[in-house]
Structure 1
Amino acid sequence: MPLPSSLTLGSLRVDTPVVLAPMAGITNAAYRRLCAEQGAGLYVCEMITSRGLVEGDQHTRDMLVFDELETTRSVQLYGTDPVYVGKAAEILCAEYGVAHIDLNFGCPVPKVTRKGGGGALPWKRGLLGRILEHAVAAATPYDVPVTMKTRKGIDDDHLTYLDAGRIAQEAGAAAIALHGRTVAQAYSGEADWDAIGELAASVDIPVLGNGDIWEAADAVRMVEQTGAAGVVVGRGCLGRPWLFRDLAAAFGGEQVATLPTLGEVAAMMRRHAELLCQHMGEERGCKEFRKHVSWYLKGFAAGGEMRRSLGLVDSLAALDRLLAELDPDEPFPASELGAPRGRQGSPRSKVVLPEGWLDETDGLGCVLAEDADSGSGG
């Protein structure tokens, strides 16, 4: 079977079947622009909460910033109340001109699951369906596709992904993305690509695979193995935005593995910091950049003092001075190819859930609390 060269989500066509997973504190407008400069794809804004958006929370509104060249605006929305999610979807379409809305049903963070949100919510099949229906109904007049992201289930004894796929299809969702881990696994262990294949075989809407895509070759292998229509990439691109160049090449039929020298990585670091400063101002932009330093330099020989100094950088001039001290000819550390990046952690012995959450699977009578600042991507 030939590799897909593009991705169709309702009325939206994505030139490469690759989606940047929303990551809290990472996938802001500057980072999305940086990644988009590397290759085509769908670049999703950090997750926002429906309640925060509907109630006019300033922090939520501040996250809805888009780069001037960001022609396809994509936002991930979190919510547990169908009415709020519907209202939020309408605001995104009418006031922010978004072209794609993704609903988060995969976040494993305890403060989210203890209120029945994120990866816990699909256990309540009825509630899941109503949330999807409200979002789709609100977005349809604007011709904006709604997709959902989920996990295999709460744990191995409480799997939900096949039901979630059926419900998403029935509700009119344009696609479903599956992270091949349970909530209990969080980011530990290996992603179950067989589950992605099983879901793809069970629904007619596109299925996107997520989990353990560290190199472009992994994405190709996932699609070939599972029949997925595309891939969602999260931690694999941390400190490696050029991964999207490799992915675009791979889905275009070219086998490319970018191995940048330290000088080329330094240039990418400078571009990232520059974009952050353009969007946030120099002081805040440099502070935001600091968290990315260890990812960019992972495996390189740069010493502890250099890393500490870069981790305290407070101006572009200071960054330029430090980057100039790096050896521009140092080759990319091959040992990092295919290696996990970002958080991994340990599996959880118990997922924190609302009391009695597992007693029934309907959930239509649930009244769930929703924070205005909940969670991460999932």
Structure 2
Amino acid sequence: MDLPDVFDEWSWSQQSISSLENIVAYHLEAPAEPVWEDVHDEYPGCLGNNTSVWLCIADGLELTLYQNGDGQWVLASVPVKQEEASITGPMMPFHFVENDNEQVWGYFSLLNMGASKAAMQLEHAQSVKATESIETENDVWTLDNEKGRVTFSQQGESVIITHKVSKGGAPSSTLSKSDNTNESELPPLFNEWSWSIKPISSLNDYVVGYHLEDPYEPDWERIDFQYPLCPGGKTMVWICGIGEADWRFYEGKDGQWILTKLESDAPEGILETQPIKLYYDDSAEAEVWAYIVWGDMEHTKDMLLFFHNQDIQSFESVETNNDIWHFKGDLGRLTFSQEGKSIVIVHTIPKSPN
């Protein structure tokens, strides 16, 4: 890409943003820090600053300026008219390069390394022909049917996922993939344990799940034996399709384990970059979705704000800054609550009375 005017005055080098894939972007050499006053003067309506990722749509590009693991600032871009993401998952596209032989997409994951692989495996396991371990376990996936390869690399606090497809090989778009509190419907094994029913979000007492009381720690040997094909476990959300429902089991606040039920036919929500879905309920009063994310609270808000800033009417701060978003029209509200190591996002759309 040609550098936008304000950035064209600075000195850059071109290096790969991933240690596992050659996907080149601009790395700022001088000045060492962006001159944010100049950036804000040139792009006054764009999001982010010197403490978080900077996001902007300008000159037909979605621009991302972020600090990598070495503290160097990196400028990446995706064409606004870019076709749909090449692969689905809990991540945000932020860079795209193309040459005569191949196309390469770069994505920021919304999850940590282990959870990123688990979530992607859940969606795409049947398309993975082989895996390789270079920096971390199974961090390179070769896909079948000429769908290219996927890599997972840790770059500072961020996990960068790349997807490379050779020209002539099809982009892997084919990789895309209530009442939640009836204890009699708990899956086998889980129905042998003692549970309480409590909210999973401190900002939404109507969004509830099963909280494990006894035993305090799950018996993972028994779980793995009973459900050997279900991914996740001690360090990431456990996900399993049982009967006509998808179950999620994860560690919440104060180390308590939480089990949620999601009907397999639950509709998609409106979030552009969807984290792992935990919960869905459709009652006479409202339609409610809940999602789970691992990572930094402000970084998570910035990622979603990039896609939904035009939808927001106002913000409200209860537990953290701007942790409630009120959408325009009949799109309801979005809340963010820190629940132990995870962030629970709840989207509520009230229904108009008859």
Bigger relative contact order, structure 1 or 2, given CA contacts below 8 A and separation 6+?
1
TM range (shorter): under 0.3
Question: TM-score with structure 2 length normalisation?
Answer: 0.25
Bigger CA radius of gyration: 2
| Structure showing the higher strand proportion among its residues | 2
